[in-house]
Amino acid sequence: MGKVLRVLRDEDKAVVERINMVKRHTKSREMNQAGQIVDKEVPIHVSNLQLICPECTKTGRISKKILDDGTKVRVCKSCGGTIENKAK
């Protein structure tokens, strides 16, 4: 479970903290600089991501529900709790 760092909307991908790590080998650019191996996060497709329910703290499927006042909310399938949208 990680935090979404960046969303690439054009490619439908997201960069998630500590997920899909690769090792990047870099050459030495100057005489006094040594080459190194750098761990880097690479994008993952958004279809491979799941939300974490704040009430039951499980990852799982969600559904959408329309409340009496006409607003749409996301609902956790396992516990029935609502998931609020914080990205606005």
- pLDDT for res 87: 58
Residue ranges covered by each domain of the chain? 1-49, 50-88
Would you list the DSSP string of 12-78? TEEEETTSSEEEEEE---STT---EEEEEE--EEGGG--EE-TTT--EE-EEEEE-TTS-EEEEETT
Cβ pair 44, 11 in contact under 8 A: no
Q: Which residue has the tokens 């991501």?
A: 49
pTM to 2 decimal places: 0.68
- pLDDT for res 5: 94
pLDDT digits (tens, 9 = 90+) for 44-62: 999 999 888 888 888 888 8
Q: Is the pLDDT of residue 11 over 90?
A: yes
